[in-house]
Amino acid sequence: MTEIHKGLAGVVVDTTAISSVDPESNSLLYRGYPADQLAERCVFEEVAYLLWHGELPTPDELAAFQGRGRSQRALPGAVIDAVLALPTTCHPMDVVRTAVSIIGAHDPSAQDPSPEANLAKSVRLLAQIPAVVAVDQRRRRGLDPIEPRDDLKFADNLFWMTFGEVPDPVVLRAFEVSLVLYAEHSFNASTFTARVIASTLSDLHSAVTGAVGALKGPLHGGANEAVMATFAQIGTADRAAAWLDAEIAAKRKVMGFGHRVYKHGDSRVPTMRRWLGTLVEHYDRPDLLDLYLALEDAMAARTGILPNLDYPTGPAYHLMGFDTPTFTPLFAASRVVGWTAHVMEQLASNSLIRPLSLYDGPPRREVPARP
């Protein structure tokens, strides 16, 4: 009897040296380092370097690495034009997906599969996706694009390009923490998509374009946006329990809760939850934290299901001033590091990813003869 592993749940597909998610110890390690320690102690670029190179950079290596990224932040004119030409009715993740594809089409080394070229393309994509996210949010608000600044680190420049100002250091720190926590998570759906595409020996931009599409769904990265939609529906903390009862009765899933791998809580949530608390104080929005806690408590009491990283990140990005549909693009701006690290790892020891299926359609039958 063929055993079916629906959704590949519980199936170990390959090895990886990039990160490990351990539900038993509730830990997430990037190249051996606890992700929560990296989030509290490192700038995002150090973590990107670690995920790509396997080791944390020395100060000189970090400076050189940051210099490479900063000099490539401006989008090619053709990419800006293409983004500005897209209808504002489309989702911002459609814009990121399309932009990554166009960036690939303009990249002279797009078809070069060497590790050096793939690393250079990854550095470029990491540098340029923030510009796509920023230009898109601005055009939807009727605002012109803002040129990137090469005197700012990644997180600060993303704010600059989006809002034309750099916020309080505590806001920047909270944002940087979210970027580090979002950067990598082993064989999640979008990363696996990237690895499947890479396994056919397709190019890096194709793999990232596919990964963006997979991240968009609300069962994956799209959940951080959905959390704000949920909060808008509930309104105030006192209505959370009744709202949840109705959702459970209707057998609807509550976005931002549950996880395929963690069954005792997402290892990243405590760190991001602490920073959400800091943001709530900074922006003086205790009502938002009350609502957050009321739904979390009601969910735990009724289902025992705990929040995942998208739950604290959604309200954190809201407080920072990002438009809700921009939340998943922000996730993509960070996760591109993990995707590309996995593309390079896949190619270093490639085997075409092609599972089997059990056919359960009609038995063999003859096509009716034609007159």
Ligand X SMILES: O=C([O-])CC(=O)C(=O)O
Report the catalytic residues: 259, 310
| Min separation Cβ 335 and ligand X, Å | 7
| Min separation Cβ 286 and ligand X, Å | 28
Q: Which residue has 């949530």 as its token pair?
A: 269
Q: Using the minimum distance from each CB to ligand X, give the nearer residue, 157 or 334.
A: 334
**C-alpha span between 107 and 90 (Å, rounded):** 25
Residues numbered 221-260 forming contacts with ligand X, rule: CB under 6 A:
259-260
Q: Using the minimum distance from each CB to ligand X, give the nearer residue, 75 or 254.
A: 254
| Min separation Cβ 265 and ligand ACO, Å | 12
If one asks whether residue 254 binds ligand ACO (CB under 6 A), the answer comes out as: yes
B/e letters for 144-157, b = 16+ CB within 10 Å, e = fewer, are ebbebeeebbbbbb
If one asks whether residue 259 binds ligand ACO (CB under 6 A), the answer comes out as: yes
Q: Considering CB distances under 5 to 8 angstroms, the limit depending on partner class, which of ligand ACO, ligand X, none binds residue 253? A: ligand ACO
Question: Count of CB atoms within 10 A of residue 81's CB?
Answer: 11
Q: Using the minimum distance from each CB to ligand ACO, give the nearer residue, 107 or 296.
A: 296
**C-alpha span between 288 and 310 (Å, rounded):** 15
| Min separation Cβ 239 and ligand ACO, Å | 18
Measured from each CB, the residue nearest to ligand X is: 188
The residue range among 116-124, 256-264, 287-295, 357-365 that interacts with ligand ACO, by the rule CB under 6 A, is 256-264
Q: Which residue has 């994956």 as its token pair?
A: 220
DSSP 298-356: HHHHHH-PPB-THHHHHHHHHHHT--GGGHHHHHHHHHHHHHHHHHHHHHHT-------
**C-alpha span between 334 and 310 (Å, rounded):** 14
**C-alpha span between 99 and 128 (Å, rounded):** 10
Question: Count of CB atoms within 10 A of residue 10's CB?
Answer: 8
Show the site string, 214-233: x = touches ligand ACO by CB under 6 A, - = not.
Answer: ----xxxx-x----------
Show the site string, 176-195: x = touches ligand X by CB under 6 A, - = not.
Answer: ---------x--x-------
C-alpha dihedral sign at 174, 175, 179, 185: positive
| Min separation Cβ 5 and ligand ACO, Å | 12
| Min separation Cβ 174 and ligand ACO, Å | 17
Tokens for 195, please give them. Answer: 């690895």
Q: Considering CB distances under 5 to 8 angstroms, the limit depending on partner class, which of ligand ACO, ligand X, none binds residue 305? A: ligand ACO
If one asks whether residue 273 binds ligand ACO (CB under 6 A), the answer comes out as: no
How many residues lie near ligand ACO (CB under 6 A)? 19
Tokens for 275, please give them. Answer: 């920073």
Quote the radius of gyration of the chain (alpha carbons, Å): 21
**C-alpha span between 119 and 116 (Å, rounded):** 5
Q: Using the minimum distance from each CB to ligand ACO, give the nearer residue, 308 or 324.
A: 308
Q: Considering CB distances under 5 to 8 angstroms, the limit depending on partner class, which of ligand X, ligand ACO, none binds residue 257? A: ligand ACO
- Which residues here bind ligand ACO, judged by CB under 6 A? 7, 218-221, 223, 253-260, 303, 305, 308-310
